[in-house]
C-alpha cells in the first residue's frame, strides 16, 4: 500500500545484509549498513549479486535528533537532494497516519529525523505516494500522499522543507476528490505539455469496487481547479474479470461533474451512472521511464479481494492483477487497457501472486511487491517480482525474511512465529540519479509482527497513541533498470 517519485525519476530486503562499504568514485556517497538490524529479506536465485544494506530502522538513534523514533509500516516514499548536498527522504508511516522526514548527510548516512505530518494532520492511513518535482512533473517539490481510511479520505500535498510546527495541520488537496486513495501519481511533464495530469488509484472493496481516477488541469501545477474523471470501458462492461490477458480494451475517462462539492459516497455512487470499471482494490501505479511514449505507458496493481461479500460473484480478482494503461498521445482521457499478469490463473506466470500492492516501473521492468492476503492459503512470504516489459518474463527477486528460525526470532515475531505472508513491502524508489550511483534503490519493509513499546505513538499526534509497529528502509544496488 506503495511508493513515489523523485527529481527525474520515480519511486520505492533481502538477506542478511552485506557489511562491506561501497564508495562511489564519482561522489562522497558510501553505501553501507547504517543500522545494526539485519536486512529483513532474502535474495532469490539469479539475484545473488545484489548488494543490500540496512539503511534505517525503528531501532536506530539519529545523532542530530536522538529523541526521534522512526515509525512503523513504512510505505510510500521519495528522495530529494538539497542545495547543501544533504538528502531529504520522505516516507509514509502508514499505520501511524504520519509522514517521516529523514535527513541524510552527503555520505548518505541518516543523521536526523522528524515528522512532517502527524496523525492529527493526516487524519487517515497513508499508503503509496509520489514526490512531484519541477524537473520530472513541471511543479513541486510536493509530496503527494493519499488518505486510505474509507471513501471520505483525501490526498495531502506536503512541502518537503516545511516547518514541523505545522505537522498537526491538514494539507488536504481538495481538487483530488474524496476516495479511499492509494497513490496520486502525476505524469511526466512531457506526457501532455502545458497540462498537469494525475492518475489516482482507489483501494475500495465495497459495492462499487475500486476505481482508477484522473485529475486534469490545463495549468501546470494547478491542483485545485481541474476536472475529475473515472475510468470506464468503452463498451460499458464494468466487470473486472471479463477482461483477459492478451486483449487490449478501449477505455476512456468520464467526467465526475462538480466533484469538489461531492462526498466520497456521492463520488462512489457515480460509478453506476458512468459505467466505470469495478476493480477489486486498485493499489499502486507508476509509469515507464524510457521517455517519449513511455511517459504515457502506465502500470497499476489491483490487489484482489475474497470471493465473498461484494465479490461473491467473482466479478473481481481474488489473487491480484497487474494492468497496463496506455494513454492516447494527444488526449489523456482516451487509451487502451490490458491485463499483463493475472494471479487468478494459478498455472500462469503470475500463479504465485498473493495480492500485489506496491509497484515501481523503470525503463524495461515492472517491479511488483506483495501484501499478505489473509486467505490462509499462502505458500510463501511476500515476494518482490520482476516483470520484463520486453519479454514478459516474471522472476522472483526477494522474499521477506521473518527470521522465524534465527536467534532473534522473538524480536521480529512477537507473540509467536508469524504465518506465511504476514509481512509486506512498502514504497520502492529508484535513487540512482539522485545519489550518482547507478542501479540503486530504496525499499520500505513492513514487518508487522515486529512490535514494542519503543515504537508506540511516536508520530507526535494524538490519534495513534497505541500504534506500536517498527519498520525498515533498505538500500539495494545492482538491480536492472
At residue 372, the pLDDT reads 83
| Per-residue pLDDT tens digits for 396-411 | 999 999 999 999 999 9
Q: Give me the mean pLDDT over the 16-32 stretch.
A: 58
Q: How far is CA 454 from CA 33, 63, 72, 447, 465, in A?
A: 22, 17, 11, 15, 12
Q: Which residues lie below 8 Å from residue 416, measured CB to CB, with a gap of 6+? A: none
| In contact, 131 and 140? CB cutoff 8 Å | yes
Q: What percent of the chain has pLDDT over 70?
A: 94
Q: Which residues lie below 8 Å from residue 136, measured CB to CB, with a gap of 6+? A: 5, 6, 7, 8, 9, 10, 188, 189
Cell of 34: 547504517
Helix (H) or strand (E) holding 410: helix 409-412
Cell of 164: 514541523
Q: Give me the mean pLDDT over the 241-257 stretch.
A: 98
Rounded CA separation 355/339 (Å) = 15
Neighbour count for residue 414 (Cβ, 10 Å): 15
Angle CA 180–183–189, to nearest 5: 140
Backbone angles phi, psi at 226, to 5 degrees: -85, -175
| In contact, 77 and 446? CB cutoff 8 Å | no
| In contact, 274 and 230? CB cutoff 8 Å | yes
| Residue 372 domain boundaries | 5-477
At residue 374, the pLDDT reads 85
Average pLDDT of the chain to the nearest whole number: 94
| In contact, 255 and 227? CB cutoff 8 Å | yes
Rounded CA separation 417/83 (Å) = 46
At residue 409, the pLDDT reads 97
Q: Which residue has the cell 495480492?
A: 355
The count of C-alpha atoms lying within 13 angstroms of the C-alpha of 234, restricted to the half-sphere facing its C-beta, is 10
Q: How many domains does the chain fold into?
A: 1
| In contact, 8 and 433? CB cutoff 8 Å | yes
How many residues would you count in the chain?
A: 481
Q: Which residue has the cell 514526490?
A: 131
CATH of residue 92: 2.120.10.30
Query: Looking at the predicted structure, is the pLDDT value of residue 112 above 50?
Result: yes
Rounded CA separation 268/151 (Å) = 8
Cross-strand bridge partners of residue 342: 321
C-alpha dihedral, 462 to 467 to 468 to 472, nearest 10°: -100
Query: Looking at the predicted structure, is the pLDDT value of residue 9 above 50?
Result: no
At residue 185, the pLDDT reads 98
Backbone angles phi, psi at 38, to 5 degrees: -65, 155
Residue 227 confidence class, pLDDT cut points 50, 70, 90: very high
Q: Give me the mean pLDDT over the 328-335 stretch.
A: 98
Angle CA 295–395–19, to nearest 5: 95
Which residue from 185, 139, 126 is spatially nearest to 444, judged by alpha carbons? Answer: 126
Query: Looking at the predicted structure, is the pLDDT value of residue 386 above 60?
Result: yes
DSSP calls for 222-239: --SSSEEEEEEETT---B
At residue 10, the pLDDT reads 36
At residue 180, the pLDDT reads 98
At residue 26, the pLDDT reads 43
Neighbour count for residue 292 (Cβ, 10 Å): 11
At residue 261, the pLDDT reads 98
Query: Looking at the predicted structure, is the pLDDT value of residue 265 above 60?
Result: yes
Residue 13 confidence class, pLDDT cut points 50, 70, 90: very low
At residue 17, the pLDDT reads 36
Neighbour count for residue 252 (Cβ, 10 Å): 14
Q: Give me the mean pLDDT over the 87-95 stretch.
A: 98
| Per-residue pLDDT tens digits for 348-363 | 999 999 999 999 999 9
Helix (H) or strand (E) holding 269: helix 264-274
Residue 292 confidence class, pLDDT cut points 50, 70, 90: confident
Query: Looking at the predicted structure, is the pLDDT value of residue 3 above 90?
Result: no
| Per-residue pLDDT tens digits for 117-150 | 999 999 999 999 999 999 999 999 999 999 999 9
At residue 27, the pLDDT reads 65
Neighbour count for residue 326 (Cβ, 10 Å): 18
Rounded CA separation 153/200 (Å) = 13
Name the pTM for this structure. 0.94
Residue 5 confidence class, pLDDT cut points 50, 70, 90: very low
At residue 16, the pLDDT reads 33
Helix (H) or strand (E) holding 101: strand 98-104
Long-range CB contacts (< 8 A, 24+ apart) of 468-471? 468/72, 469/58, 469/71, 469/72, 469/73, 469/95, 470/57, 470/58, 470/59, 470/70, 470/72, 471/57, 471/58, 471/70, 471/71, 471/72, 471/73, 471/74, 471/93, 471/426, 471/444, 471/445, 471/446, 471/447
Residue 293 confidence class, pLDDT cut points 50, 70, 90: confident
Spell out the alpha helix ranges (H) of 57-159: 119-122, 134-137
Rounded CA separation 90/77 (Å) = 5
Amino acid at each position: 500500500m506503495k511508493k513515489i517519485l523523485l527529481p527525474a525519476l520515480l519511486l520505492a530486503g533481502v538477506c542478511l545484509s552485506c557489511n562491506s562499504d561501497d564508495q562511489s568514485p564519482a561522489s562522497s556517497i558510501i553505501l553501507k549498513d547504517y543500522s545494526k538490524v539485519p536486512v529483513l529479506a532474502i535474495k532469490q536465485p539469479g539475484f545473488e549479486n545484489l548488494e543490500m544494506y540496512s539503511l534505517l530502522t525503528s531501532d536506530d538513534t539519529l545523532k542530530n535528533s536522538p529523541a526521534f523514533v522512526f515509525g512503523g509500516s513504512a510505505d510510500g516514499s521519495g528522495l530529494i537532494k538539497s542545495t547543501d548536498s544533504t538528502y531529504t527522504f520522505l516516507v509514509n508511516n502508514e499505520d501511524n497516519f504520519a509522514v517521516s522526514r529523514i535527513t541524510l548527510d552527503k555520505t548518505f548516512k541518516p543523521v536526523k529525523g522528524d515528522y512532517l505530518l502527524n496523525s492529527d494532520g493526516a487524519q487517515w492511513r497513508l499508503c503509496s505516494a509520489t514526490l512531484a518535482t519541477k524537473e520530472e512533473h513541471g511543479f513541486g517539490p510536493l509530496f503527494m500522499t493519499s488518505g486510505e481510511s474509507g471513501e471520505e479520505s483525501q490526498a495531502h500535498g506536503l512541502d518537503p522543507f516545511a516547518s514541523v510546527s505545522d505537522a498537526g495541520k491538514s494539507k488536504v488537496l481538495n481538487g483530488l476528490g474524496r476516495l479511499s486513495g492509494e497513490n496520486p501519481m502525476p505524469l511526466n511533464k512531457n506526457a501532455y505539455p502545458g497540462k498537469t495530469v494525475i492518475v489516482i488509484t482507489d483501494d475500495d472493496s465495497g459495492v462499487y469496487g475500486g476505481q482508477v481516477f484522473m485529475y486534469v488541469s490545463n495549468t501546470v501545477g494547478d491542483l485545485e481547479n481541474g476536472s475529475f474523471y473515472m475510468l470506464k470501458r468503452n463498451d460499458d462492461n464494468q466487470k473486472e474479470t471479463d477482461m483477459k490477458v492478451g486483449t487490449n480494451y478501449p477505455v476512456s475517462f468520464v467526467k465526475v461533474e462538480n466533484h469538489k462539492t461531492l462526498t466520497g459516497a456521492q463520488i462512489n455512487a457515480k460509478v453506476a451512472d458512468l459505467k466505470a470499471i469495478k476493480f477489486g482494490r486498485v493499489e499502486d501505479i507508476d509509469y515507464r521511464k524510457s521517455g517519449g511514449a513511455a511517459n504515457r505507458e502506465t502500470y497499476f496493481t489491483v490487489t484482489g479481494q475474497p470471493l465473498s461479500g461484494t465479490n461473491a460473484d467473482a466479478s473481481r480478482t481474488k489473487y491480484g492483477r497487474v494492468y497496463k494503461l496506455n494513454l492516447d498521445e494527444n488526449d489523456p482521457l482516451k487509451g487502451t487497457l490490458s491485463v499483463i499478469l493475472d494471479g487468478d490463473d494459478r498455472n500462469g506466470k503470475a500463479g504465485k501472486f498473493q495480492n500485489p500492492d506496491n509497484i515501481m516501473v523503470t525503463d524495461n521492468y515492472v517491479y511488483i511487491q506483495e501484501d499478505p492476503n489473509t486467505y490462509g492459503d499462502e505458500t510463501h512470504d511476500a515476494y518482490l517480482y520482476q516483470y520484463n516489459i520486453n519479454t514478459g518474463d516474471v522472476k522472483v527477486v526477494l522474499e521477506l525474511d521473518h527470521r522465524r528460525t534465527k536467534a532473534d526470532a522473538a524480536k521480529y515475531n512477537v507473540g509467536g512465529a508469524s504465518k506465511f505472508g504476514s509481512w509486506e513491502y512498502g514504497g520502492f524508489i529508484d535513487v540512482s540519479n539522485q545519489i550518482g550511483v547507478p542501479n540503486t534503490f530504496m525499499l520500505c519493509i513492513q514487518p508487522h509482527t515486529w512490535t514494542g513499546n519503543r515504537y508506540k505513538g511516536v508520530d507526535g499526534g494524538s490519534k495513534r497513541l497505541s500504534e506500536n509497529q517498527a519498520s525498515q528502509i533498505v538500500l539495494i544496488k545492482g538491480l536492472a533498470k
